[in-house]
Amino acid sequence: MLVLRRRVGEAIVIGGEIEIEVIEISRTRVKLGVRASRDVSVLRREAIALAAENRMASDLIAHRGQQGVGDLLRLLCEISGENPQAEPERVDM
Amino acid sequence: MTVSEIIRSTHLGDIEWNSGCELFLPGGLPGFEEEHRMIPVEVPAQRPLVFLQSLDNPDTCFVSLPVRTIDPGYRILLSEEDRSALVFETDRELSIGADVLCLALLVPFENTVQANLNAPIVINLHNRHCIQALSAGGATGYFRLGDGGRWESVC
């Protein structure tokens, strides 16, 4: 791993096009600014695992369908004591 | 005047919606960065489930639950960046139900589902801005739906 020391206001450049600047340093955290073209995906590392998890989450209804979801969570619905109806509706915000 | 529109959801069928219930996701969700608009949908027979239907892609639909139906003691802890993305200007404690709605996405796991309460979908109820917060539940972790319809902490 390449290790560089930088101060606030200083930056590094990756591949000639992506610039990462140190904006602020506190006792436990560093605030970074990234300049890159819009087609460059910039993610916190933990968000990469979350992306895979989200894709699995979207598969839940895609693979099991409404009926499968209903079967799986019937116990929850019984606990909530709701009367079954057919039509979907928006959540009041 | 509010005009209703219809989204032809692949999984939920036709849903009539209007701008008053539209959620704004400036950065999308991890893995779905290009989808910036969603609506929350309830199917009465499947309450308390909340479906999050993308308005940008009729194929994208998530199944979620309010976090406190899984963990009644859940408290929301948002980072400075997440507060900023939701346009909360002060650092006061946020109230689930009054300030924000917190939904946990349900992820298939073998024959059941699990939910990551550290990464809930957080909706600012005042402006409908929406993010998926990281580490929002401290060390809360994953819960899995077990026998008897009980949620069990798995890590």
B40:A62 CB<8 A: no
B47 to chain A: closest CA residue: A77
**A70: its two tokens:** 């209903």
Contacts of A58 in chain B (CB under 8 A): 32, 60-62
B45 closest CA partner among A66, A43, A93, A60: A66
C-alpha distance from residue B2 to each of B9, B19, B38, B129 (Å): 21, 7, 17, 19
Distance of residue A36 Cα from the nearest chain B Cα, in angstroms: 15
Distance of residue B46 Cα from the nearest chain A Cα, in angstroms: 6
Distance between CA atoms of A51 and B105, rounded to whole angstroms? 12
In this structure, the number of other CB atoms found within 10 A of the CB of residue A72 comes to 18
The ipTM, to two decimals, is 0.90
A70 to chain B: closest CA residue: B46
Q: What is the pTM of this model?
A: 0.82
Distance between CA atoms of A20 and A84, rounded to whole angstroms? 53
Residue pLDDT tens, chain A, 93 long: 999 999 999 999 999 999 999 999 999 889 999 999 988 888 888 888 899 999 999 998 888 777 677 766 666 755 544 444 445 556 656
